[in-house]
């Protein structure tokens, strides 16, 4: 039972409670616990096995700690089972639709009897939803678009969620006797934002033994097939896993083939044909003779190319770049020197400034920026000018106390509807770093939303635009923006664009990152951390950056502290 599974059960419990109109404090307790669990840097199963006190975790009381133990021991817990019997299963699917929360879903169920995405789509198309009090035509259209997005996503899983199961499977398979090589291929290896299934390749002296071991994995819901060299199963999370055992002589070619993408593979095969060769999952052949196949480097070498990193294999220019010696040296986690977007208990974070700074230092960072929310977000204790002054005094005190880490004082300031900022220029000018972000009015027209961001970048105090498009993967499409205008303005103003590493955001996407790189716009890879473990989300940002061809030189938090400060100062003088 991995952390992600436990968190999902708590999220589901919160949703079901809210659909049933239960106590909002109980709903919030489950959601807060789920957030803590999914960002936890340690395995809860191991913590329980070691007898550790789970109530020391933020938001986990005795009752929830007992439920966590129950989930680990039985796969679920009584309260969730009770709720699942009360609520039609299709209602949970409706939560994926933008514009719908549990309360509205409850209304739709009670008034129109809607329990599925198809029923929701039909009701919206027939105008039945807009006739309900509190809905209206605009929301009906949003819901209709949301249904299309939810159905388009299908049974895909966020990369970070799939990773938990991939890692567990690899650890489990490595316990099998005779296993030689193992790799998770497919879109997972290419670090795509979402993953449809998991493809695992292995080599072994006796493949059938590996298959026998594989189908005993405890989390399997259904065994679809089990052969001598291949097996397909469905996990309890509904992720499909395909295991293939291949010969050592074919491992490299199979890994290349099953990693994909399909357009990349087709392009490579076309190069092979021009050279009088044939490439498939079994190897590189000249006539009937196999001339390569043991490793991926030889597959690329056979067609005159250097090795191409999996994240680049989308047929978006990587083959031409490889031919011309222009492949990027992709950024790595080791290149990161600090995190420039972090929250504390001064707004909606779970840890103090000191605790966040020490956690960053433990990761080997040189600096961390404390960027709590501004006053606009009053419900999460956003900071006003007075609170900023108080926070500065606290940071100055900690700077004198803590060695080995530089603490930057910043803010995540709200961009208001007209593009002005939530705090005065005087207050913003006193800070080391200013991140500007949209947190409201998501549905403005393309022209208004674009103008809003352009105006925010015109403020000389703004260093970085946070999560620029506002999208949530599989839940909410980004704002309607003219991204080329946004990027051109960022280039002219010297404004940095954030790659938000939260696994539900990964905003900017890979296409926008490549465009930013081509235009010479600098990127900040930041975790938007709300607790210490969120700092580990940096690796998800690195995955996305690599898909966008980003190198260390494109990222401002790959700079030394001294160089970073000089860049921030220079920005404010443009």
Domains and CATH numbers, the chain: 3-153 (1.10.150.110), 157-245 (3.30.460.10), 250-322 (3.30.210.10), 337-571 (3.20.20.140)
For 467-490, write each residue's pLDDT tens digit: 999 999 877 888 999 999 999 999
The residue behind tokens 């779970």 is: 350
Indicate the range of 10-14, 136-140, 280-284 predicted with least confidence.
Answer: 136-140
Concatenated DSSP letters for 99-159? T--HHHHHHHHHHH---SHHHHHHHHHTTTTTTSTTTHHHHHHHHHHHHHHHHHH-S-EEH
* Nearest one of 51, 44, 42 to 10, comparing CA atoms: 44
Q: What mean pLDDT do residues 481-506 have?
A: 95
* Nearest one of 357, 364, 340, 435 to 397, comparing CA atoms: 357
Concatenated DSSP letters for 405-456? -EEEEEEEEEBPTTS-BSS-HHHHHTSSEEEEE--S-TT--HHHHHHHHHHH
Q: Quote the distance between the C-alpha of residue 6 and its chain's center.
A: 18
Which whole-number Å values give the CA distances from 330 to 94, 335, 448, 546, in the listed order? Answer: 39, 10, 36, 6
For 350-371, write each residue's pLDDT tens digit: 899 999 999 999 999 999 999 9
For 107-119, write each residue's pLDDT tens digit: 888 899 888 888 8
- Token pair in block for residue 382: 């956003």
Q: How confident is the model at residue 574 (pLDDT cuts 50, 70, 90)?
A: very low
For 364-421, write each residue's pLDDT tens digit: 999 999 999 999 876 678 999 999 999 999 999 999 999 999 999 999 999 999 999 9
The Cα–Cα gap between 188 and 158 comes to 10
């Amino acid at each position: 039972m991995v952390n992600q599974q436990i968190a999902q059960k708590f999220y589901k419990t919160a949703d079901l409670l809210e659909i049933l109109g239960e106590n909002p404090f109980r709903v919030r307790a489950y959601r807060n616990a789920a957030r803590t669990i999914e960002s936890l840097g340690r395995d809860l199963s191991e913590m329980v096995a070691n007898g550790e006190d789970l109530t020391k975790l933020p938001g986990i009381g005795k009752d929830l700690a007992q439920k966590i133990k129950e989930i680990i021991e039985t796969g679920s817990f009584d309260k969730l089972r009770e709720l699942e019997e009360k609520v039609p299963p299709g209602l949970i699917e409706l939560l994926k639709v933008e514009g719908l929360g549990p309360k509205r879903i409850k209304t739709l169920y009670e008034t129109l009897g809607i329990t599925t995405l198809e029923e929701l789509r039909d009701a919206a198309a027939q105008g039945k939803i807009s006739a309900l009090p509190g809905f209206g035509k605009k929301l009906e259209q949003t819901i209709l678009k949301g249904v299309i997005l939810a159905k388009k996503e299908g049974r895909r899983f966020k990369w970070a969620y799939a990773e938990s199961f991939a890692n567990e499977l690899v650890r489990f398979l490595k316990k099998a006797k005779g296993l030689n090589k193992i790799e998770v291929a497919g879109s997972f290896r290419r670090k795509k934002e979402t993953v449809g299934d998991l493809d695992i390749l292995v080599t072994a002296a006796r493949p059938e033994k590996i298959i026998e071991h594989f189908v005993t994995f405890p989390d399997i819901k259904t065994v679809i097939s089990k052969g001598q060299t291949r097996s397909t199963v469905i996990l309890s999370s509904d992720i499909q896993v395909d295991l293939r055992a291949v010969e050592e002589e074919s491992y490299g070619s199979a890994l290349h083939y099953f990693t994909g993408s399909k357009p990349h593979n087709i392009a490579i095969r076309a190069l092979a044909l021009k050279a009088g060769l044939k490439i498939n999952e079994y190897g590189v052949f000249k006539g009937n003779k196999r001339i390569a196949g043991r490793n991926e480097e030889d597959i690329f070498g056979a067609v005159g190319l250097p090795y191409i990193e999996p994240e680049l294999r989308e047929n978006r220019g990587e083959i031409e770049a490889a031919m011309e010696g222009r492949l990027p040296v992709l950024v790595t986690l080791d290149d990161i020197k600090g995190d420039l977007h972090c929250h504390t208990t001064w707004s909606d974070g779970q840890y103090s400034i000191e605790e966040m700074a020490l956690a960053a230092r433990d990761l080997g960072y040189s600096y961390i920026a404390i960027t709590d929310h501004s006053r606009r977000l009053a419900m999460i204790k956003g900071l006003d000018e007075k609170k900023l002054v108080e926070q500065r005094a606290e940071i100055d005190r900690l700077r004198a106390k803590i060695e080995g880490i530089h603490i930057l004082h910043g803010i995540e300031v709200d961009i208001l509807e007209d593009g002005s900022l939530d705090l005065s220029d005087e207050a913003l000018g006193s800070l080391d770093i200013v991140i500007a972000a949209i947190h409201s009015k998501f549905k403005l027209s393309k022209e208004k939303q674009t103008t809003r961001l352009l105006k925010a970048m015109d403020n000389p105090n703004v260093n970085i635009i946070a999560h620029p498009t506002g999208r949530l993967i599989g839940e909410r499409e980004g704002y309607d923006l003219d991204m080329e205008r946004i990027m051109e303005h960022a280039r002219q103003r010297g404004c940095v664009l954030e790659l938000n590493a939260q696994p539900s955001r990964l905003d900017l996407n890979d296409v926008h990152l490549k465009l930013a790189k081509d235009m010479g716009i600098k990127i900040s890879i930041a975790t938007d951390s709300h607790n210490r473990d969120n700092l580990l989300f940096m690796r998800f940002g690195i995955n996305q950056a690599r898909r966008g061809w980003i190198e260390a030189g494109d990222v401002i938090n790959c700079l030394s502290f001294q160089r970073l400060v000089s860049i921030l100062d220079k920005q404010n003088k443009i």
